[in-house]
A and B are shown apart, each in its own frame.
Chain A
């Protein structure tokens, strides 16, 4: 195995394109665990640590926040310039595993795995985030919703890497709630729900509800969000549960997930309503 230490994103993309067996490494929290268990055997590791600025978080003039791919979970969790709506991502970052893992793991490394039960993907859907991707001679942006395209699968091509994650400012007067059910604190979620709502006056006029761990990818249901805006919480929950396609794994059965999902949705939405001052 070779180790490369490129100093620019273009150089990294070139190295990635030149070697089919090469893998990018940022924090190592997922990739090295997979190497240790023999799931992957990269021919080369391309460290992203030496690329200036890739770990930075910046706020644009339009209020959107751009999180560099190699920003650690700890850095994202501690970032103070998120808007209330954007903060769904910061809250989720703080729920990932334990402090030593948050010292190592990065947002880019997390999203490229495409684990529907991971904390970032669900939060990124609720935040309507965009994933910025680069290849050797290309760059493109794709919505988080389209990026996660299957179980442990993403729209990232083999010779592409994630440059950053862009989170729009979102509405004013927003409230963000991330509700995660796990066997023990710090474990991967059995399921999770990310909610961003905003109200003007007495009425809620904006909601984004994302569900993770209940299907091959995290998902939203726009019809359910419309029902919620209409004040029909029960119908919203029903539509979201109907869209679930949970599987059974070591953390919980599909049946358990179907039973718990409506309750977690109700709890998350009710909490958000109370925080937002809506009865």
Chain B
């Protein structure tokens, strides 16, 4: 018999009350209970990075996170980046450089790049490559994703001048 728990998660600034079996991962809760399907289920082993979400601003694996242990944390999913009017600067950069093909890795890639640039707006290309090393893409060959991250960095730094 499953022990069902009820708990609150703070997702993209909103409190969501979840009732779910205790063992459900954050990825399952996001996708199947809250219908936030931006985070993808790839390997379910923490290897591929498609389920990456930001927990307290740091990229982590939704598939390896027990949702009920996230009470009190700030969770950001891809759905939390854009406003109704415009894409976030990193999202727009991915569109502009062609950093998106099938899209399966994109949520994780974009959130990871957002976190890298938030922690270090002057991140070098090498630091960006290292930062996204845990996110696998099978379409782009990565170059256009790197281009997107570099473009986003330029725009963030330009806007700050």
A97 in contact with B69 given A33-B46, A103-B60, A104-B61 (CB within 8 Å): no
The answer, yes or no, to whether B64 is at the interface (CB within 8 Å) is yes
Name the prevailing secondary structure of the B interface residues: mixed
Q: Which of A24-32, A62-70, A152-160 contacts B (4 or more CB under 8 A)?
A: A24-32
A29 in contact with B46 given A3-B5, A104-B64 (CB within 8 Å): yes
Contact between B21 and A1, CB atoms less than 8 A apart = yes
Q: Give chain A nearest CB distance to B127 CB in angstroms.
A: 10
Q: Which of these, A1, A36, A99, contacts B133 with CB under 8 Å?
A: A99
Contact between A98 and B133, CB atoms less than 8 A apart = yes
Complexed CA–CA distance, A225 and B3 (Å): 54
The answer, yes or no, to whether B23 is at the interface (CB within 8 Å) is yes
Interface string of B1-44 (1 = CB under 8 A from A): 01101000000000000000111010000000000000000001
Q: Which of A1, A27, A42 has the most CB of B within 10 A?
A: A1
Q: Which of these, A32, A42, A45, A97, contacts B63 with CB under 8 Å?
A: A32
The answer, yes or no, to whether B100 is at the interface (CB within 8 Å) is no
The answer, yes or no, to whether B68 is at the interface (CB within 8 Å) is yes
The residues of A that contact B58 with a CB separation of less than 8 Å are: 100, 103
A32 in contact with B25 given A103-B58, A185-B133 (CB within 8 Å): yes
The answer, yes or no, to whether B66 is at the interface (CB within 8 Å) is yes
The residues of B that contact A101 with a CB separation of less than 8 Å are: 46, 61, 134
Contact between A186 and B5, CB atoms less than 8 A apart = no
The answer, yes or no, to whether B85 is at the interface (CB within 8 Å) is no
Contact between B3 and A32, CB atoms less than 8 A apart = no
The residues of B that contact A45 with a CB separation of less than 8 Å are: 22-23, 66, 69
Interface string of B101-114 (1 = CB under 8 A from A): 00000000000100
Contact between A36 and B112, CB atoms less than 8 A apart = no
A49 in contact with B69 given A1-B23, A36-B63, A100-B60 (CB within 8 Å): yes
Q: Give chain A nearest CB distance to B110 CB in angstroms.
A: 14
Contact between A99 and B130, CB atoms less than 8 A apart = yes
Complexed CA–CA distance, A243 and B64 (Å): 36
Contact between B25 and A2, CB atoms less than 8 A apart = no
Interface string of A101-122 (1 = CB under 8 A from B): 1011000000000000000000
The residues of A that contact B63 with a CB separation of less than 8 Å are: 32-33, 36
Complexed CA–CA distance, A42 and B2 (Å): 12
Chain A interface (Cβ within 8 Å of chain B)? 1-3, 5, 25, 27-29, 32-33, 35-37, 42, 45, 47, 49, 97-101, 103-104, 185-186
Can you name 18 A-B pairs with beta carbons within 8 Å? A1-B21, A2-B22, A3-B69, A25-B69, A32-B25, A32-B66, A33-B44, A33-B64, A37-B44, A45-B66, A98-B135, A99-B130, A100-B46, A100-B52, A100-B59, A100-B60, A101-B61, A185-B133
